[in-house]
Amino acid sequence: MSRPAMRTVVVTQRFFDEETISYLNSQGCEVRLADLPPGKADGDLSEDTLAQILADADGWIVGHAKVTRQLLGRLPRLQVIARRGVGYERVDTAAVAHLGKVAAVAAGGNDACVADHALALMLAASHRLRESQMRMNAGAWTILTGTDLYRKTVGVVGLGRIGRGVVQRLKGFEARILAATTKPDEEWGRKHGVAYVDLHTLLASSDVVSLHAPLTPDTRMLIDARALAHMKPTAILVNTARGGLVDDAALLDALKAGKLAAAGLDVFLSESDPSYTSVTSELIALPNVIATPHSSASTREGLARTNRIAAQCTVAVLQGGALPAGCVIADGRPAMEFSENSKGPMHA
């Protein structure tokens, strides 16, 4: 009996581990790692370049490239697009479904590392670590007075997996937790000591505001000049979610004017809108801004987890099986029945 033909899986991400490559190989997949230009990510590649790289791909493990209807129309062989991450605002899910393909995210893979990163930004900003080191580098060892995270009021905007992870970590600081979410879970809130409030109350009452909401038309520029004006001048804003949640120009103005104490930022509006590049440059130059380059999910362990989940999603589609729970964001295949041993329906 002849062996099934190998399927081609193209990965347009760096830091793709050998263990996951071996797993894909064991499932009948030939893995091809895209040769990305130095300092560039797949989101920087043109549609023509992506179409060339993916011309013979059955599966695509993608980072931040835009998955458009026009691109997908040029890739008739492609069956599955698996994001090594959880956000999918750059994926045209309607086009994926219409063209009979599947799109998935690596749900649950990076929750822990992003929640850890959010706490790191809170602590670094509240203890003024960047300012202190900048002064020490300049020869001034004067002591700057920081502030505790202990027993402070922390507002968490969005209570998905990462937001809940942040809440659980804050228990060790005996923090008072406020949360603004579209779907409050009262039982979970009581168990973890969370008070559900509206956004206005959260902003006005919190010493730290941490953003964990998805980027949608309703949440775009959620934190604008008006929202920032509701915050305490001693407050800290942390964003490890999406740059589009914050009007970075308004944030820059608030920080420069002393209307906000500090910010911890892993994401920036300039990532999706180059017209904000100069704003980002000014933000990261401020001594009271702790900045990282959208790296909160990039721990060795977190990348290995998301690599594996994206690979499992890819294999499931190519083999006609069920995807891991919570991973499907678009499925254009005909409805299928699964046995009792299946992990559940694939359709979102």
**CATH number assigned to the domain comprising residue 221:** 3.40.50.720
At residue 299, φ and ψ (nearest 5 deg) are -95, 160
CA distance 335 to 340: 16
Q: Contact, 288 vs 277, CB < 8 A?
A: no
pLDDT number for residue 181? 96
For Cα atoms 326, 311, 348, give the angle at the middle one, nearest 5 degrees: 25
* Annotated active-site residue in 64, 130, 271, 308: 271
Do 247 and 319 have their domain in common?
Answer: no
Copy the structure tokens of residue 342. 């299946």
Q: Which residues contact 130 (CB under 8 A, 6 or more apart)?
A: 124, 287, 288, 289, 290
Strands 59-62 and 7-11: parallel
Asked whether the predicted pLDDT for residue 306 surpasses 90, the reply is: yes
* Annotated active-site residue in 7, 242, 305, 308: 242
Q: Which runs of E-coded beta strand occur in the chain?
A: 7-11, 29-33, 59-62, 80-83, 102-105, 153-157, 176-180, 194-196, 208-211, 236-239, 262-265, 289-291, 328-331
At residue 326, φ and ψ (nearest 5 deg) are 80, 5
pLDDT number for residue 297? 93
Do 242 and 148 have their domain in common?
Answer: yes
Inside any domain, residue 271: yes
Q: Across residues 232-261, what is the average pLDDT?
A: 98
Asked about 174 being catalytic, the answer comes back as no
Q: Contact, 43 vs 66, CB < 8 A?
A: yes
CA distances from 152 to 63, 184, 187, 234 (A): 36, 22, 23, 12
Do 21 and 65 have their domain in common?
Answer: yes
Do 168 and 32 have their domain in common?
Answer: no
120, amino acid identity: A
Do 55 and 133 have their domain in common?
Answer: no
Cα 233 → chain centroid? 28
Model confidence, pTM: 0.88
CA distance 91 to 69: 9
Asked about 242 being catalytic, the answer comes back as yes
Share of the chain above pLDDT 90, in %: 90
Instruction: Tell me the residue range of the domain where 130 lies.
Output: 111-291
Asked whether the predicted pLDDT for residue 337 surpasses 70, the reply is: no
- The overall average pLDDT reported for the chain is 93
pLDDT number for residue 335? 72
Asked whether the predicted pLDDT for residue 47 surpasses 80, the reply is: yes
Q: Is 34 helix (H, G, I), strand (E, B) or coil?
A: coil
Number of domains present in the structure of the chain: 2
Copy the structure tokens of residue 265. 């930022």
CA distance 40 to 36: 6
At residue 37, φ and ψ (nearest 5 deg) are -60, 150
Q: Contact, 24 vs 311, CB < 8 A?
A: yes
Do 77 and 182 have their domain in common?
Answer: no
pLDDT number for residue 336? 55
Asked whether the predicted pLDDT for residue 75 surpasses 90, the reply is: yes
* Annotated active-site residue in 176, 192, 294, 333: 294
Asked about 176 being catalytic, the answer comes back as no
Inside any domain, residue 341: no
Do 120 and 91 have their domain in common?
Answer: no
CA distance 132 to 125: 11
